[in-house]
């Protein structure tokens, strides 16, 4: 379990360094939105893979059946990424910072919080095909 979190932390630090560059990502920019979405998708993917690999004690393989569009000659092992658990974990973990404060209505910080929550959700929905983002 230690290697999962070490690799995940290293991946996130490298991604943030690459995305921010020397000047940093300015809040409210398209680059910042992309960074938020990418970070959320990365958390979902890393947790889903860790579940599949047995690195986390709180989850296991996906319970979804064999996908119907797989070729018949492809052997289905039955242990896919647990995207459902990864999604639930990412909602709690990534959105925690945004949800911990209460802002006054119609304030700039409230707008930024709602924008970040939307971008986080957009990143998580990339992993689940054909899911609209509201």
Q: Per residue in 47-61, pLDDT tens?
A: 988 888 888 888 887
Measure the CA angle with vertex 95, ends 90 and 100; round to 5°.
145
Q: Is 51 exposed, middle or buried, given 0-12, 13-18 or 19+ CB atoms closer than 10 A? A: buried
Q: What is the mean pLDDT of the chain?
A: 77
Residues 116-130: what's their mean pLDDT?
Answer: 80
Residues 114, 88: Cα–Cα separation, whole Å = 19
Q: Per residue in 67-95, pLDDT tens?
A: 777 787 877 676 778 888 889 999 999 99
Residues 89-113: what's their mean pLDDT?
Answer: 88
**Quick one: CA dihedral 89, 90, 93, 97, positive or negative?**
negative
Count other Cβ atoms within 10 Å, centred on residue 85: 22
**Domain spans, the chain:** 30-60+79-129
Which pTM was predicted? 0.68
Q: What is the CA radius of gyration of the chain?
A: 17
């Amino acid at each position: 379990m230690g290697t999962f979190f070490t690799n995940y932390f290293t991946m996130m630090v490298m991604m943030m360094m690459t995305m921010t560059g020397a000047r940093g990502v300015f809040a409210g920019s398209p680059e910042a939105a992309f960074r938020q979405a990418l970070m959320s998708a990365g958390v979902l993917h890393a947790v889903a893979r860790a579940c599949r690999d047995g690195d986390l004690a709180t989850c296991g393989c996906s319970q979804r059946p064999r996908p119907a569009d797989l070729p018949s000659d492809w052997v289905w092992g039955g242990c896919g990424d647990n995207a459902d658990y990864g999604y639930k974990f990412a909602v709690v973990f990534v959105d925690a910072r945004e949800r911990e404060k209460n802002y006054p209505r119609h304030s700039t910080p409230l707008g930024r919080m709602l924008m970040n929550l939307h971008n986080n959700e957009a990143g998580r929905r990339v992993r689940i095909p054909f899911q609209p983002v509201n």
